Amino acid sequence: MIRIVHNAAGKLGVWVLRDEPLYVGESPTWREHPELGANADFVSIPLTALSDVELYPYDVNNPGPSIRCGPAQTISVVGFPFGIQAGGSLAVWATGFVASEPDIDFQNLPVFLIDCRSRQGQSGSAVIAYGNGGTFAMEDGSTAIMAGEVIRLLGIYSGRINEQSDLGIVWKTSALKELVSTIK
């Protein structure tokens, strides 16, 4: 079993705990990436205990506006370093920078590097580009002015390349989308 903290339906900041099975009999409930299998450091787990729960998901099929996210771009790793929670069960936002070209696969895997003081407990955290309105460079070379929060899901954090480095690995949203597309 895995225990998940969810937001109570209609009550932002009120938390409910739900257990999800990791196995049904001898069979695992999680799914691995369709091509990378165990070489990918992420899986999907079906959520079945969702009564009276409200989800606030990042959507791999709609990760946000196509703002340009290249080397030195500020990013946030939204998770739970050392299991720390920020107000109830809200995540902590760690700030860092894109450290490799996100359009080029690192070590022949759909990952890129970030430079961030991420720590144990942040594995699986969303990695996002965040802005609070303004002018943004777009992937197509144009510029756009956007009001309000601008959020683009870049992937999920997997861990540092080694204990002595603040360089971390991010599995790209495209790889997550490939896994999600296999779920029926």
Residue keyed to tokens 């998940």? 4
Q: What pLDDT does residue 120 have?
A: 84
Q: In three state form, how does the secondary structure of 74-110 look? A: EEEEEECHHHCCCCCCCCEEEEEEECCCCCCCECCEC
Judge contact between 14 and 8, C-beta under 8 A.
Answer: yes
Six-digit token string for 33: 């990436």
Burial environment of residue 94 by CB neighbours within 10 A (0 to 12, 13 to 18, 19 or more): buried
What pLDDT score does 163 carry? 86
Distances (CA, A) of 66 to 8, 24, 28: 32, 40, 36
What pLDDT does 122 receive?
87
Position 129 scores a pLDDT of: 95
180 sits in which H/E element: helix 173-180
Read off the pLDDT of residues 119-140 as tens digits, 9 standing for 90 and up: 888 899 999 999 999 999 999 9
Rounded to 10 degrees, the C-alpha dihedral 66/71/74/80 comes to 100
The tens digit of pLDDT for each residue in 126-182 reads 999 999 999 999 999 999 999 999 999 999 999 999 988 899 999 999 999 999 998
Domains of the chain and any CATH numbers: 2-54 (no CATH), 74-173 (2.40.10.10)
Residue 23, Cβ neighbours under 10 Å: how many? 10
